Structures are given as structure tokens and as C-alpha cells.
Amino acid sequence: MLPIKKKYSVLFFLLILTNIQLIYGGPPFNTDDPETVRFKHWEYYISSINNYQPGTWSGTAPHLELNYGLVQNVQVHLLLPLNYNYTRNMGSGFGYADTEIGLKYRFIQETDNSPQIGIFPIVEIPTIKNSEFSSGETKIYLPLWMQKSWGKITTYGGAGYWINPGVNNKNWIFAGWEIQYDFSEAVTLGGELYYHSADNKSTRSETGFNLGGSINASEKFHFIFSFGHTLTKDNTFTSYLGLLWTI
């Protein structure tokens, strides 16, 4: 039988493994779109993702994301996260683990009668040995996204497959759809509904929603945000707060 202190350490570690799974999607939502950064232009994000369950917090504080328009309809992507977790009576942890790189390619342009469509494969690479925030295995995400606009209304969504190696881990599917409305040049608001299957043998599939948008201080500076909640029994509150600089 495990000593009490060791037993609680194991329980804490398992709790973190089942709750630290973060979905980096199209800021400020989990769902992404096929739209790429313009040729020779940049996007810089500094943001924080937060997941809260009663007695437990996890997320990034913060993460840095960079996107660059490499050629027409092709975007390269880099995300550098500083992860954290906190559990009541167990303490907190903070550290860097996996580096995310990706390449977005829009292969169908939007027309009056058809949506734009693209792919955005992503690889998460363990860069620091840190079992609290990483399985130590390379993960691969293979999604397909589409988007269509009608005046001030834009809607986008799609689905992807995560290859998720590691002890007790499972490959899993993410699917989501978002719709938003441009109230003015300064304010865009919208919401998403998403689903992902279980990513670990000890977890269940999850459905949830987020509401949010962007406040555009200028053509270059934007405040982006979302808040949401799961619709399943795990009772998770989520939030995204970030600043976007485009050049």
C-alpha cells in the first residue's frame, strides 16, 4: 500500500494529466478557420488560456504565438506556452513543455457560392523534460477547416484528428463550428460549439461552448477574448484573454 504522501502525489499527478489538455485553436476560440496571414505579414499574440474546475486551475500564463505569411495562401505558425496548474490543498506548478509548430495552407478560395477551405497540420514537440506538463511524446494534429462570409456575418469550422502517444493517452477527434457578426469596425462578437473525444483512458468526451470576439483599438492592435463552459458533467469553465498585434 502506498504511503499517504506518495498516494496523494500520485493522485495529484493523475489529476493534472486528465485536466492539462489544452486546445490551441483559432484565437480566441478552439475552432480555427482556413484564412491565412497575408504574404510577408505577421501576427503576434500574447495570451492566456484558463480552465477551471472546482478546486483546480490550469492553463497558460502566458503563451506567445507568431504567424507569418510565407507565400500567398500559406502561413507558418509557432506557439510557445508557459503552462501552470493549481489544485487546492496540493499546491501549484509552473513550467514550459511543448513547442507547437504548424503550416496552414488554403487550397480553395471563397466565392459567392462556395467557402474557402484549408488544412492546418500542427506538431507539438516536447522541448523540456517536464512530466507535469508533457507526455514527452510528439503530438500531431491534422485538421480541415472551411469558412464562408455574407456581409457582416462570418462562419467557419471543421474537424481534426490528434495523434496523441503516451502512457494511457488516446488519439482523439476535435470538431467545432463558430459564427460571428461585425457590429462595427471596432467590435466583432461571436460564439462556437465544440466537441472532442476522450484523449486519455481515464477521461470522457466533452462538448462545450465559448462566447467572445475582438475589440479593435486600431488596424494593428486588437484585444481578443472568450468565455465558456462545458455542457458535459465535468463542469469546466474556460477563458481566453489576449492581445493581437498585426503588421
Q: Indicate the range of 2-16, 45-59, 136-150 predicted with least confidence.
A: 2-16
Taking the C-alpha atoms of residue 144 and residue 158, their distance in angstroms, rounded to an integer, is 6
pLDDT for position 33: 97
**pLDDT per residue as tens digits for the range 178-194:** 999 999 999 999 999 99
Grid cell locating 158? 471543421
Does 148 score more than 80 pLDDT? yes
Burial class for 118, CB neighbours closer than 10 Å (0-12, 13-18, 19+): buried
Domain ranges in the chain are 4-246
**pLDDT per residue as tens digits for the range 93-117:** 999 989 999 999 999 999 999 999 9
Does 175 score more than 60 pLDDT? yes
pTM of the model: 0.88
Q: Among 2.30.40.10, 2.40.160.40, 3.50.50.60, 3.40.50.720, name the CATH number for the domain at 4-246.
A: 2.40.160.40
Decide: 174 and 199 in contact? Cβ < 8 Å.
no
Report which of 82, 25, 18 is spatially closest to residue 226, judged by C-alpha positions.
Answer: 25
> What mean pLDDT comes out for the span 18-46?
85
> What mean pLDDT comes out for the span 143-169?
96
pLDDT for position 128: 85
pLDDT for position 174: 98
